[in-house]
Structure 1
C-alpha cells in the first residue's frame, strides 16, 4: 500500500478505541532453516505474522512462557518434523490453538502417529499441502467481521456526509486503529481529490467490480491506496483501466464491506444521501450516523427525522451529526428529544474544513479543536462506554 502522506498526529489525549486483535500470530517450531524460511514466506503472503521458535526453546511450558514474556497470541502453531516433542500430548492441550505438523512423504508415518494423540492436530505433507496451508493461513488473517462498522448517511445531498465520514476515519487512525474509508455513494464521483494531493491509483470500485467473487478482505487491503494512514476505497474520477458507471449492486457493495471488516479494525462508510440503497447498507452496520445541516433542520428537513422511522426512511437506530452554525432559535436538544436519534454531535464551524478539502487536505482537519470535540462525541456515543471515555480521555 502506498502512503501519500504522513499519518495523522497522535496526541497524548487521543482516545484509544477498544483494541481489536491484529493479524493472527503463527509460531513455526523448527531448526530446519529452509522449512522455517518457506513457512515465514507463506505466512507473510497470507497476511499473518510468523515467529520462528528454535526446537531447544520449545520445551516444558514454552508456549505459556512465550505468551506471557513476548505477548504471543498464536492462532496456529506449525511444528516441523524435528520438533514433534513440542506437539500437544493430549486433546486438552490442543484445544486452545490450531496445531499443524509439517513434513514430507518419508516423515508421514511419524507425523500421523503424533497427530493421533488429539483429533484437532492436523498434518500437512509438503509440498503437496502447500496450497491448502496457504489458504488456511489466509483464513486466520481474517477477523471474521469483528471490526467496528460506522455508516454515515446524509439527510440530503451536500450536507457534509463525506466530510464527517472522512474526518471520523482520520480520528480512528489517530487512535491507533487500522481504518478503511469506503465511498459507497454512487453520486460522489470519487472522494480522493479531497483527501490527497497525490494521484489516485487504479485500485477502486471500477477495478474491484471485475473480480468474481469478491476478493478476501486481506487481499483488498493490500492494494488500496492510503493517505494519512487511511486506506481508501472510492470511485476513480479518471475512469482508469476498468472504467465503469458507478452503479454496483447493493449486495456486491455490502459483501465487499463485510470482507473489509475482516481486514481492518474500523470500517467507515460514506453511504451518501438517504435512499433505499444506503438504507440497505445501514442494515448491516454496527453504528449509523445521519448527517444533516443545521439550516436545513431549522427550515423543515427535521420532519424526515420525525416521521422517517415509521416509514422506513431512516435507520431504526442512529445518531445525529449536525453540520454548520445553528440558526437563531434552533434547539438541537429539543430536536433530539423529539426524534429516535440516540445521540447527537455538532460541528458548527466548517469554513476552515472547506478550505482544506479544496486543497486535498481534508483529513488534516481532524486535528482542529472544534472538529476533535465533534469526533470525540461520536466516538463516545458509539465505540466507548462512559467509563472508557473518561478513563482514556483524562488519564
Structure 2
C-alpha cells in the first residue's frame, strides 16, 4: 500500500478515487480509528476523521470538499496537526501530483538538452535526431518535438507510422503524468522513445502540458533531447540543462541566429553554437561564433543525400563528421 484514504464519507471517497484512477494508482480506503495505514507513504484524511494517525513516515493531507468556510477547514487541519490541505475538486491536479510522488518518489532528473534553429532549415532537427538516436543505443532517451510548425521529427526519423500518443493526445488528457506510464506509452522507433505531432490540425502547445511532460520525462529517462522552436517561451529554455543553437555559415543566417542567440542567452547561461558548414563562400565557424557571442560547440557539414533519404522514409544518414560531434557532446553531458 502506498496511498491510503481514511474516511467513512462516500463523497470524499469518490473524489479521491477519481483522482487516483486517472493516474493509474490503487487507493486503499480505511475507516477512521482503524489500523492498516502503517505501510502507506501518503495518507489522506477525510474531514470526518477526529484524530490523525501518529506517524512520521508518511505525508498526511486533509481532504475536504469545496465549501464556503475555508477558515473552519484550516482550523480542522490545525486541530489534526496536518499542514497540507486539498479542497476537491479544485485541488485534484495538485493531489494527483502528490500521489505520483508517493508511488514513484522523485530522483535526480535526467539531462535535458534543447536544440534550437537560428533560422529556417538550419539543421537543428537533424542534430536533435542524431543526438537522440546515438544516445538511445546506450541509455534511456526520449526525443521531443516541441515545434508544431516544424514538420515533425517522426518524419525525419522515418517513424511517422509508429503508433502511440502525440502532443495532441497529451493536450487533450491534461493532468499529471506518471513517469513509468509515460515511458511505456510513448512511441518507439528502433528503441528510441519519441513524442512528436500528428498529421491533424496544428495546435499551440500549452505551456503547462509541456512543463508536466518534461518533469515526467526527466524522471523516466536518462536523457531528454528537445527540438525547441525559435519562438519558445523563455521558461522552456530554462528547463534545459544545455542549449545548442544551430546556424548555417551564411551572412543572412548569422544575422537571424544572432537575434535568436540574444533571446536564448537572456534565459539560459549555457547556450553554445553549432555551425552548419555550407561549402565554398561560407563563413568561418570560429568567426561566426565570435560575432554572435556564443562559445562554439562544433560544426556539421551539409549532407547532399539527407533530404532525399528523409523523403524516402529512410531516416537520417549517420555521417562520420556528424557522428564525431554527437559523440563528443554526449560524452560531456552523460557519464
What's the TM-score, normalizing by structure 1?
0.55
Structure 1 residues 291-310: aligned runs within 5 Å? 291-294=246-249, 298-306=250-258
2:256, 2:151 → 1: CA distance?
Answer: 26
Deviation at 1:167, TM superposition (A): 0.7
| Contact residue 153 and residue 278 of structure 1 kept, 8 A | no
Structure 1 residues 19-34: aligned runs within 5 Å? none
Structure 1 residues 1-395: aligned runs within 5 Å? 100=39, 120=57, 138-140=103-105, 142-144=106-108, 146-174=109-137, 176-196=138-158, 199-237=161-199, 239=200, 245-272=202-229, 274-275=230-231, 277=232, 279-294=234-249, 298-306=250-258, 316=268, 317-328=270-281, 330-363=283-316, 365-366=317-318, 368-380=319-331, 382-383=332-333
Equivalence for 1:108: none
1:326, 1:143 → 2: CA distance?
Answer: 46
Change (3 A) 1:191 1:309: closer
Q: Secondary structure at the match of 1:321?
A: strand
Q: Secondary structure at the match of 2:220?
A: coil
Higher relative contact order (CA 8 A, sep 6+): 1
Change (3 A) 1:137 1:353: farther
Change (3 A) 1:346 1:315: farther
What's the TM-score, normalizing by structure 2?
0.64
Q: Secondary structure at the match of 1:171?
A: helix
* Structure 1 alignment gaps of length 5 or more: 1-44, 47-98, 102-115, 123-133, 389-395
Deviation at 1:341, TM superposition (A): 1.7
Change (3 A) 1:233 1:336: same
Equivalence for 1:25: none
Q: Secondary structure at the match of 1:320?
A: strand
1:311, 1:189 → 2: CA distance?
Answer: 23
2:288, 2:162 → 1: CA distance?
Answer: 40
* Structure 2 alignment gaps of length 5 or more: 1-23, 26-37, 41-53, 60-98
Deviation at 1:216, TM superposition (A): 2.0
Q: Deviations over 1:338-388 (max 9, x none)?
A: 33322322111312333332232325x24x3122112124335x416xxx7
Equivalenced residue count is 251
CA RMSD, Structure 1 to Structure 2 (Å) = 3.4
